[in-house]
Structure 1
Amino acid sequence: MKRIMIIGSGGAGKSTLAKELGERLGIKVYHLDSLFWQPGWVPMERNKFIELQKEIMKKEEWIIDGNYSGTMELRLERADTVIFLHYSTIRCLYGIVKRRLEYHGKTRFDMGAGCPERLDWEFAMWVAGFNRMKAPKLLQKLQKYEEKKTFIFTRPSMVKTLFR
């Protein structure tokens, strides 16, 4: 495991897992949200975001967390390990509410500077629909990459197998 991508619904704990893996393996972590969102929640220009990811992926080792389906194929092609946190909708909704309360008025460690924590209806609905709308497509996409070491975790307790 040298080039690891972590995907899953909002609130699943992708960034927390990425941080822990990075510390344990001594690999630099890149949070896509912190790259994409500029101060004041301004999105990065698409081509710049793609080029930034390409530069990161040239490195021998990296951990990248985040979905961003428009650039997922680039990461899948280069990754040697894929971790999909495929948790229940209720678990992920709980996760986004919990972090909203925990980081109220603050910027999370995995977000860009000047992007204080927020929770809006659109994002909550995206999380609520993730397992129905996005997860089947992700699972189908992962089937094309059988050569990758792939972990699909359906419960947080399953993640502990990575650390054995």
Structure 2
Amino acid sequence: MNKKIHIIGSVGSGKTTLAKELSSMLAIPHYELDNVVWLRDKTGDKKRTEEERDSYLESIIQSESWIMEGVHLEEWVSNCFHGAEVIIFLDTNYSIRTYRIIKRFLKQKFRLERSNYKPTLKILYKMFKWNRYFEQVGKDKFFNTYAIHKNKVAVMKDRRSIEKYFNLRAQ
């Protein structure tokens, strides 16, 4: 069983949902890279210094087991990819991600779903922009930058492929 899992994918690909499900199923704590970057507070989020961020991430990576999820591809995340036993690359269909972004925005706007940020039209626009960027640049950037880890990358396109992967791994 994999005890150190990194999940990467675009906005709306299902990273957080999968991380929560795997965390519950495998009894492994999950972390969001956005919460490694940002110190969440009721009075407003505060960006951690690079030193704080790197130290916090390193403390997670050094723990016995973890599930990390996020879209970050920058150098500061490289130790997380290195420490992972498996990297799940969620390659969900672009139109499905777009639908999920809209659905999430509406749920957060009507307070049916919790959010780490204020759901504004500006952030919705940014999510569309990030989704497009990931589709056009981010995928290739990941596979080019982290090609050294290709033997532990599992590309998942849909729910069925995720279930099949973990059922096969459990046997």
TM range (shorter): 0.7 to 0.9
2:41 maps to 1:36: no
Does the 8 A contact of 2:11 with 2:71 survive in 1? no
Alignment CA distance shift 1:79-1:107 (3 Å): farther
TM-score using structure 2 length: 0.82
Farther-moved stretch of structure 1 (123-132 vs 4-13)? 123-132
2:92 maps to 1:91: no
Does the 8 A contact of 1:107 with 1:117 survive in 2? no
Query: How much does 1:68 deviate?
Result: 1.9
The CA RMSD measured in Å over matched residues stands at 2.1
Alignment CA distance shift 1:108-1:28 (3 Å): farther
Match of 1:104 among 102, 106, 109: 109
- Aligned AA for 2:118? P
Larger radius of gyration: 2
What is the aligned length? 160
| Bigger fraction of residues in helix | 2
Alignment CA distance shift 1:146-1:65 (3 Å): same
TM-score using structure 1 length: 0.86
* C-alpha separation in 1, matches of 2:136 and 2:13: 15
- Aligned AA for 2:91? H
* C-alpha separation in 2, matches of 1:84 and 1:146: 11
2:83 maps to 1:81: no
- The percent identity for this pair of structures is 26
Query: How much does 1:107 deviate?
Result: 9.2
Deviations 1:93-120 (A, max 9, x none): 11111111122254966x64xx334433
* C-alpha separation in 2, matches of 1:7 and 1:30: 12
Alignment CA distance shift 1:67-1:90 (3 Å): same
2:70 maps to 1:69: no
4+ residue segments displaced more than 6 Å = none
Deviations 1:5-54 (A, max 9, x none): 00000011100000000000010111122332334344322221111100
Structure 1 unaligned segments of length 5 or more: list them: none
Deviations 1:115-150 (A, max 9, x none): 3344332231111221111101112234211442x2
Alignment CA distance shift 1:15-1:126 (3 Å): same
Query: How much does 1:59 deviate?
Result: 0.4
